């Protein structure tokens, strides 16, 4: 089996370096990606934030992605795509669920089904294993042959993104979806492959709060599972994904604010907070003849000014996950990793319980994730080891394919293409990684 893994292409963001947003030609980093990924992979694994629905409307994101997937097909990089959505394309997972659980069912006159919030994909590459190959247990029966396209109802709507308009030709591409985890088992070890958004506070915040507040009111004495965790966090994920990205003129404005804040220029935020303060003042009118209204106005001003100062201080001192060298050293991030890792291990146990001993996977020893845009190659000494049950688990990052502004210059922050071959195992190739990475 031969695989290639990338993440964080952000199609729809004009700063993507794999496809030119305007001309739809190859971007400046496409040839380097092609050289690293190679040809004739059984699967190209897309590890989240492939589409960027949070800052781009659907039309633009799909238009740019179509150009990329047609290049993939033309250059014969992979026979199939395994797509593991992230936070900027979380909506892709809900779209797939809509297709299979609602639209297909209703079109057949059948009752709609509840969403399946998590779906583990499994690549078993253990010699002699009865389940050797790629599987979506519980969704597609048996081993998925990379040489045979899916049939009928098992075809994703995204398969047709590489077809030409108006039925004028073009071949479909085979897409398979897993969320939020893909597991690969080989030579006595398992590897967890995931986007990584649930390691950051915002994307796991709702689940943490609700679990602390509701406790046993959620499921009684039954333990929560990864499906529950994804579902609990889905409202915030959808808000920050398509909720903002498909808000018309507000989307463009939010995009500007995000860019300015990340470039260290929060002036627009300060201006909007001042205007909000003015509107609050209008709601709390005071009268010279009523001393009680004086105190109310003074208290409102004090609270409003304090809130503004705290918001601005938080923005100016914020260190987001993107481009952060310290992300996995943060104690809060490490705690979320342990929590997420525990739910992932329960998911692995569930695979064995539901599908038999042949899907009893070895312990995870390495994790490949994206999200931070800071690549950490396979053989790097900087791979961060975390202790889990007195055993070390190493973390590796796939980087990203965007540029960013640093002062008056624009720089590419570095990407990595991870590869896997049954004979040689994992490796990675870094592309234009800055020296200070």
What six digits make up the tokens of 140? 């597609």
Overall pTM surpassing 0.85 (yes/no): yes
- Percent of the chain whose pLDDT exceeds 70: 88
What torsion, rounded to 10 degrees, do the Cα atoms 150, 152, 158, 162 define?
Answer: 80
C-alpha R_g of the chain: 24
Is the pLDDT at 12 greater than 80, yes or no? yes
Four-residue CA torsion sign, 194, 195, 197, 199 = positive
Q: Which of 193, 174, 163, 151 lies closest to 62, judged by CA?
A: 163
Label residue 43 by pLDDT band (50, 70, 90).
very high
Q: First-to-last CA distance in the chain?
A: 31
pLDDT at residue 419 above 60? yes
Mean pLDDT score, 330-358 = 92
Is residue 358 over pLDDT 70? yes
Picking from 5, 76, 126, 36, the residue whose alpha carbon sits closest to that of residue 422 is 126
Cα(246)–Cα(222) distance, integer angstroms = 37
Largest CA distance in the chain: 89
């Amino acid at each position: 089996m031969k695989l290639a893994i990338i993440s964080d292409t952000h199609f729809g963001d004009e700063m993507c370096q794999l496809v030119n947003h305007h001309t739809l030609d190859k971007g400046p980093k496409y040839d380097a990606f092609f050289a690293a990924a190679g040809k004739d992979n059984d699967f190209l694994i897309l590890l989240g934030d492939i589409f960027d629905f949070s800052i781009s409307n659907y039309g633009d994101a799909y238009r740019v992605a179509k150009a990329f997937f047609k290049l993939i097909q033309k250059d014969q990089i992979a026979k199939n795509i395994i797509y593991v959505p992230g936070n900027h394309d979380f909506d892709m997972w809900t779209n797939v669920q809509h297709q299979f659980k609602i639209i297909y069912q209703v079109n057949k006159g059948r009752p709609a089904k509840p969403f399946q919030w998590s779906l583990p994909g499994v690549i078993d590459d253990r010699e002699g294993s009865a389940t050797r190959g790629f599987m979506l247990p519980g969704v597609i029966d048996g081993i998925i042959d990379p040489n045979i396209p899916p049939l009928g109802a098992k075809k994703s709507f995204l398969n047709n993104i590489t077809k030409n308009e108006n039925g004028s030709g073009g071949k479909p591409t085979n897409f398979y979806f897993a969320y939020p985890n893909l597991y690969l088992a080989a030579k006595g070890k398992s590897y967890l492959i995931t986007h990584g958004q649930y390691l950051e506070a915002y994307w796991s915040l709702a689940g943490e709060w609700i679990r602390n507040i509701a406790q046993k009111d959620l499921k009684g004495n039954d333990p929560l599972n990864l499906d529950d965790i994804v579902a609990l966090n889905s409202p915030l994920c959808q808000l920050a994904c398509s909720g903002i990205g498909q808000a018309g003129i507000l989307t463009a404005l939010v995009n500007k604010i995000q860019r300015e804040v990340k470039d260290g220029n929060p002036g627009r935020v300060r201006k909007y907070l001042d205007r909000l303060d003015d509107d609050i003042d209008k709601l709390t009118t005071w009268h010279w003849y009523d001393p009680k209204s004086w105190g109310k106005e003074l208290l409102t001003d004090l609270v409003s000014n304090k809130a503004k100062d705290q918001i601005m201080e938080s923005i100016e001192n914020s260190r987001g996950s993107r481009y952060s060298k310290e992300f996995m050293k943060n104690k809060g991030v490490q705690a979320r990793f342990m929590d997420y890792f525990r739910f992932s291990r329960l998911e692995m146990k569930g695979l064995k319980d539901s599908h038999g001993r042949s899907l009893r996977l070895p312990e995870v020893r390495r994790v490949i994730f994206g999200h931070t845009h800071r690549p950490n190659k396979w053989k790097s000494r900087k791979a961060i080891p975390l202790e889990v049950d007195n055993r070390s688990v190493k973390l590796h990052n796939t980087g990203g394919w965007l540029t960013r502004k640093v002062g008056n210059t624009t720089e590419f922050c570095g990407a990595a293409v991870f590869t896997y071959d049954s004979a040689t195992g994992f490796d990675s190739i870094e592309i234009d990684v800055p020296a200070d990475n």
